[in-house]
Structure 1
Amino acid sequence: MRGAFADVPLTTLFPGLSPADVACLEQAARAVDAARADGDKAKWEWVRDHLVFPGPQPWTPLILGLDVIEHADGSDQLEFLLHVVWTDLCRLAVDAAVNVACWCDIDHASHDVDALRLVVGEETSLPRAFQAGAERLIGWLTDPRDADFWRARADLPPAGPSREQGRDDDG
């Protein structure tokens, strides 16, 4: 399902939330919306099929998430992510990340160039972890919206034709 944060069935996805917890999550989501450069409200995604821990997976089971994708020149991509997911140990975690399209000689698809993971547990509540992830995402959204800026920070190759040429050579 996709929609505005107001459409997210928070107490269905996370049955233990109090009204104060819901208000905290909503406040963090409004702050993310306010930080978006295009002024549009974010399109959040939620997956009801992942309400129950699906067991360890080769992928990370998303429960709630936001992907802010920036495209440049039709071929380059920069993504800002905020997700609530299951860990392999049946714990909720809030993941926030900036990733860029890969321009390495070997195609890795994308690279996380900055990331935060907060596992929900005795010391960190879901609302506190979500708020911290949202604050990190908002900080990243104020940095340049230039994938090469982020690649340089992570010491990755700049965007360019080398990978495309390598693909042509490989068949």
Structure 2
Amino acid sequence: MLLGLERTDDRLMAMNRGAFGDVPLTTLFPFLSPADVESLRHAARAVDAARVDGGGVEWEWAPQHAVFPGTQPWTPIVLGLDVIEHATGVDQLEFQLEVVWTDRGRLAVDAAVIVACWCDTDHATHDVDALRLVVGEENSLTGAFQTGAERVIGWMTDPRDADYWRVQAGLPARRHCQEAGGSTTGIACGQATFVSRSMAASRFLSR
């Protein structure tokens, strides 16, 4: 699992956004067969259908990353989504599914569930669970994407209470930020180790 990774933001690069049907899959992944394309679309539809509020999922893709751009200080994202679910209190949950390049020029599928805290003093995130599948001899892109999608769907069907996910990660219980010298409406996260990043744009660095 990829827990506690250093993060950076690839959204500094131009990203296209829209429904999965708008994603130019054969441009991003020229090696895909028609059956592969349908497999990816089927998995994406399942993720879209798993939204509790019934809202559609906005996907992001970067045609400039269809070819490996070389080792970068950030992770080149080819395709992905970041589903944000607002939980009780001021915490929120994020569910991510991405196809990225590793620093060795291999495609990988990353999936993660994240508890995000809006506290003024500890504005940061906790990776509760994460998965990386590198595409290669053992994992096809379609197989890895299907597995990642199933993992994200499973996470999204679990309780929406951020406290539930804190327990799963072994994180300390929430306490009011006022006790930590912060906002009276925010939530601090105890003495846990934080991974700072933009609330809506967390991204994996390769292992």
> What is the TM-score when the length of structure 1 is the normalising length?
0.88
The answer as to 2:167 corresponding to 1:152 is yes
Paired position in structure 2 for 1:137: 152
Query: What is the CA–CA distance in structure 1 between the aligned matches of 2:88 and 2:160, rounded to whole Å?
Result: 13
SS in 1 for 2:86: strand
Among 38, 51, 60, the residue aligned to 1:36:
51
Query: What is the CA–CA distance in structure 2 between the aligned matches of 1:165 and 1:95, rounded to whole Å?
Result: 34
Query: What is the CA–CA distance in structure 1 between the aligned matches of 2:33 and 2:178, rounded to whole Å?
Result: 49
The answer as to 2:20 corresponding to 1:5 is yes
Q: Which has the higher contact order (CA 8 A, sep 6+)?
A: 2
The answer as to 2:133 corresponding to 1:114 is no
Paired position in structure 2 for 1:47: 62
State the 1:75 CA deviation: 3.0
Bigger mean CA offset, 51-60 vs 93-102: 51-60
Query: What is the CA–CA distance in structure 1 between the aligned matches of 2:75 and 2:100, rounded to whole Å?
Result: 7
SS in 1 for 2:128: strand
Query: What is the CA–CA distance in structure 2 between the aligned matches of 1:103 and 1:157, rounded to whole Å?
Result: 16
State the 1:107 CA deviation: 3.8
Query: What is the CA–CA distance in structure 2 between the aligned matches of 1:3 and 1:13, rounded to whole Å?
Result: 15
Paired position in structure 1 for 2:139: 124
| Alpha-carbon spacing, 1:2–1:11, altered in 2? closer, same or farther (3 Å) | same
Is the 8 Å Cα contact of residues 100 and 113 (structure 1) preserved in structure 2? yes
Structure 1: gaps (5+ residues):
none
The one-letter amino acid of 2:41's match is: E
| Alpha-carbon spacing, 1:155–1:20, altered in 2? closer, same or farther (3 Å) | same
Among 58, 74, 83, the residue aligned to 2:73:
58
State the 1:52 CA deviation: 2.0
Structure 2: gaps (5+ residues):
1-15, 184-207
> What is the TM-score when the length of structure 2 is the normalising length?
0.74
The one-letter amino acid of 1:91's match is: R
| Alpha-carbon spacing, 1:37–1:122, altered in 2? closer, same or farther (3 Å) | same
Query: What is the CA–CA distance in structure 2 between the aligned matches of 1:143 and 1:125, rounded to whole Å?
Result: 27
Is the 8 Å Cα contact of residues 33 and 42 (structure 1) preserved in structure 2? yes
Query: What is the CA–CA distance in structure 1 between the aligned matches of 2:161 and 2:181, rounded to whole Å?
Result: 24
State the 1:85 CA deviation: 0.5
Is the 8 Å Cα contact of residues 68 and 79 (structure 1) preserved in structure 2? yes
State the 1:166 CA deviation: 4.5
State the 1:57 CA deviation: 2.4
The answer as to 2:103 corresponding to 1:88 is yes
Among 59, 74, 83, the residue aligned to 1:68:
83
Bigger mean CA offset, 71-80 vs 35-44: 71-80
